[in-house]
Structure 1
Amino acid sequence: MKSIGNRLSQRYVSKGIIEPHFSNVYSYIFDYMFNFILYNLSLLILGFILKQLTAAIVYVIIAGSLRAVAGGYHCKTRTSCYILSYTIFTLYLYLITIIPKMSAYILICIYIINWISILIISPVDTPNKIFDSNDKKISKKGVRKLFIFNSIFTILSFLLHWNKGLLSIDLSLIICSLSLYTGYISNTRRYLCK
């Protein structure tokens, strides 16, 4: 069965929009974009159904952007990736509802610790994306930009006394940090086994 990306790229080849030797590249890009949009949309729908839309939006923005720029753990199969991703997201939404209201100062401390751990280790290679020295510089710069954007949002949440927003940010960062360190450990084992 042909993927959506494959069908789209073949259509563009037949119409002369793209050259035939670029068909596989475009197929991969179209499939990636389709899966990215579908996954994030499904997270937002799940957040809406569970009455946690704001938390879902925070997660999609923080975890999605950090994962794209900083790398992290990568499952071996698409199915295991879906299962792990949706399980983590559902756990995230569950934790948002059961964690009692915490002091904003504690949440800010958790935020700082998370970002320090992320800035120290990122970027982390995945089997599909090995960073060369130039890629690492670009990724580190992207992570620092995300840190600045995220810090502005966090400061605003703090000033507006939006503790649930701070908790959503912290949990999203904890998930990203765990993914980075798990990916790092997985890579270390992979390189040692070679």
Structure 2
Amino acid sequence: MDKLLKNVLSCMRTKGLLDENEEDVYRFGLECLLLEVVHYLSYIVIGFAMRMIIPMIVTAMVLIPLRRKSGGFHARTRSGCYLFSCSIVVAVCLLDKIIFPLWLCTVTTFGANAIIFAF
């Protein structure tokens, strides 16, 4: 990943698209973008592999904004973050296959909303 970022930044520098004083900012932005793309592509692959692409897309549409607004869990390493995020997506897709009683879904939804509003 570092080699790819270095090549992209070098190309941007030669084309005059990059101010050398702000190279760290561009590097950080490109790294974040690349990590996001890898995460989202992995989620799509997980959805196809589990034959649950629609539930995975719905899960991603809910979890991604929620995680951004709440801060989420922060792993110590990029690979730890990646593995944790993918395991959450797999767990939610597996939970989608279980049929829960309506009362349990209702209580869980109210409880989760209360926690979210409290924080």
CA-based RMSD of the aligned residues comes to 1.9
Tell me if the contact between 1:5 and 1:28 (Cα under 8 Å) persists in the aligned partners. Answer: no
3-state SS of 2:2 partner: coil
Equivalences for 1:82-121 in 2 at 5 Å? 82-97=82-97, 99-103=98-102, 106-121=104-119
Which structure 1 residue ranges, 5 or more long, are not aligned?
A: 122-194
Instruction: Find the counterpart in structure 2 of residue 9 from structure 1.
Output: 9
Preserved CA contact (<8 Å) 2:42 2:86: no
Q: Residue 6 of structure 1 contacts residue 24 of structure 1 at CA under 8 Å; is this kept in 2?
A: no
Structural mapping, 1:50-65, within 5 Å: 50-65=50-65
Contact 1:10-1:23 at 8 Å conserved across structures: no
Deviation at 1:101, TM superposition (A): 4.7
Deviations 1:26-47 (Å, cap 9, x if unpaired)? 1111111111012112112211
Q: How does 1:1-194 map to 2 (within 5 A)?
A: 2-97=2-97, 99-103=98-102, 106-121=104-119
Q: Match of 2:75, SS?
A: coil
Alpha carbons of 1:28 and 1:113: their partners in 2 closer, same or farther (altered >3 Å)?
A: same
Could you tell me which amino acid in structure 2 is paired with residue 93 of structure 1?
C
- The answer to whether the Cα contact below 8 Å between 1:44 and 1:56 also exists between their aligned partners in 2 is yes
Task: Output the CA distance in 1 between the equivalents of 2:45 and 2:37.
Answer: 12
SS at match of 1:51: coil
Conservation of the 8 A alpha-carbon contact between 2:75 and 2:81? yes
Is the CA contact 2:9–2:27 (under 8 Å) kept in the aligned structure 1? yes
Q: Output the CA distance in 1 between the equivalents of 2:59 and 2:4.
A: 27
> Does the CA contact (< 8 Å) of 1:3 and 1:31 recur in 2?
no
* Offset of residue 112 of structure 1: 2.7
Deviations 1:39-79 (A, max 9, x none): 11211221122111111111211111111122022111122
Q: 1:65 to 1:6 in 2, by over 3 A?
A: farther
Structure 1 Cα separation of the partners of residues 71 and 94 of structure 2: 25
Counterpart-to-counterpart distance in 2, 1:33 and 1:20:
20
Deviations 1:121-144 (A, max 9, x none): 2xxxxxxxxxxxxxxxxxxxxxxx
Amino acid at match of 1:102: P
What percent identity do the matched residue pairs reach?
21
Give structure 1 regions of 4+ aligned residues with deviation exceeding 4 angstroms: none
